[in-house]
């Protein structure tokens, strides 16, 4: 059995790594938070450093907060890339820009190392139950090698195209998800302010065209005032910023995403970045002077 590295044991990474250990991978893990590594070690993983992971492992998974940390973890003074062997595969599951992904691909390719950008969709709940969706960019040869490992963490994986394609697909996903949450929030606030029980509105429309996976996940959280993060506003704020910046570089108009970014900026000023992105509703609540609650009107 080949050795597998895993770097980044945060909200998403920790349950994903647990799925891999429980499904038979010989996992070597690293995170700056010691307690996170201890949890994985208790399940059978081995605590390591990035350099050790590079020297020991044929495949290295990473899921980190942003592209700068990804690049420093790979190419920094004690980075993984210094000890990786030719033929190894790095799979970056972070949400970064296509530019970041292509940079990593090109730099690693110089040393005969494969790089896949493979961000995920599904949030913490699907990370916990192992049913994430992967959108992958890079070489087909590397994708086929790691596909059995991706399936330890997720229920689907699609090779979208060449390097950067996975990251582009993730940004498209984040546009759709976060604007859907914003529309849901605005609609529930509208119903609440108009004097209609938002729970009844949800029950009435969830089976129609307005219904969605986003509605099923976020409407109950909003009405129960449960903003414990499965996907923090901070992460999605970063993703929408990446959308706007990438769109500007490519001359793609994204007026709704630009407005959503400013909404998130307002939530940042209010100190709400660590709440679940369902808390986007709080922007519309503040404008309307109401709070959406279950069973009230």
What residues are labeled active site? 170
Spatial contact of 53 and 79, defined as CB atoms under 8 Å apart: no
3-state SS track over the chain: CCEEEEECCCCCHHHHHHHHHHCCCEEEEECCCHHHHHHHHHHCCEECCHHHHHHHCCEEEECCCCHHHHHHHHHCCCCHHHCCCCCCEEEECCCCCHHHHHHHHHHHHCCCCEEEECCEECHHHHHHHCCEEEEEECCHHHHHHHHHHHHHHEEEEEEEECCCHHHHHHHHHHHHHHHHHHHHHHHHHHHHHCCCCHHHHHHHHCCCCCCCHHHHHHHHHHHCCCCCCCCEHHHHHHHHHHHHHHHHHHCCCCHHHHHHHHHHHHHHHCCCCCCEHHHHHHHHHHHHCCCCCCCCC
Residue 290: other Cβ atoms inside 10 A: 18
Spatial contact of 120 and 94, defined as CB atoms under 8 Å apart: no
């Amino acid at each position: 059995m080949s050795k597998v590295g895993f770097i980044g044991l945060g909200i998403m990474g920790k349950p994903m790594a647990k799925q891999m250990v429980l499904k038979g991978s010989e996992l070597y893990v690293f995170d700056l938070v010691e307690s996170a590594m201890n949890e994985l070690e208790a399940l059978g993983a081995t605590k390591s450093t990035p350099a050790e992971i590079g020297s020991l492992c044929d495949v290295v998974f990473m899921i980190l907060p942003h592209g700068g940390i990804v690049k420093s973890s790979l190419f920094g003074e004690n980075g993984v890339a210094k000890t990786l062997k030719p033929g190894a595969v790095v799979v970056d599951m972070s949400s970064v820009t296509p530019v970041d992904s292509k940079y990593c691909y090109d730099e690693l390719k110089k040393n005969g190392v494969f790089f896949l950008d493979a961000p995920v969709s599904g949030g913490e709940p699907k990370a916990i139950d192992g049913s994430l969706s992967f959108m992958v960019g890079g070489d087909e040869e590397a994708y086929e090698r790691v596909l059995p490992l991706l399936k330890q963490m997720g229920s689907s994986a699609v090779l979208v195209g060449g390097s950067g394609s996975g990251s582009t697909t993730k940004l498209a996903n984040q546009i759709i998800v976060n604007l859907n949450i914003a529309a849901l929030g605005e609609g529930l606030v509208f119903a609440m302010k108009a004097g209609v029980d938002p729970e009844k509105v949800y029950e009435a429309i969830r089976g129609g065209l307005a219904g969605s996976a986003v509605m099923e996940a976020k409407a109950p959280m909003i009405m129960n005032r449960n903003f414990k993060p499965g996907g923090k506003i901070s992460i999605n704020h970063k993703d929408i910023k990446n959308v706007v910046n990438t769109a500007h570089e490519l001359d793609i108009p994204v007026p709704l995403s630009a407005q959503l970014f400013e909404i998130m900026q307002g939530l940042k000023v209010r100190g709400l970045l660590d709440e679940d992105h369902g808390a986007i509703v709080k922007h519309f609540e503040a404008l309307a002077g109401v709070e959406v609650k279950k069973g009230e009107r």
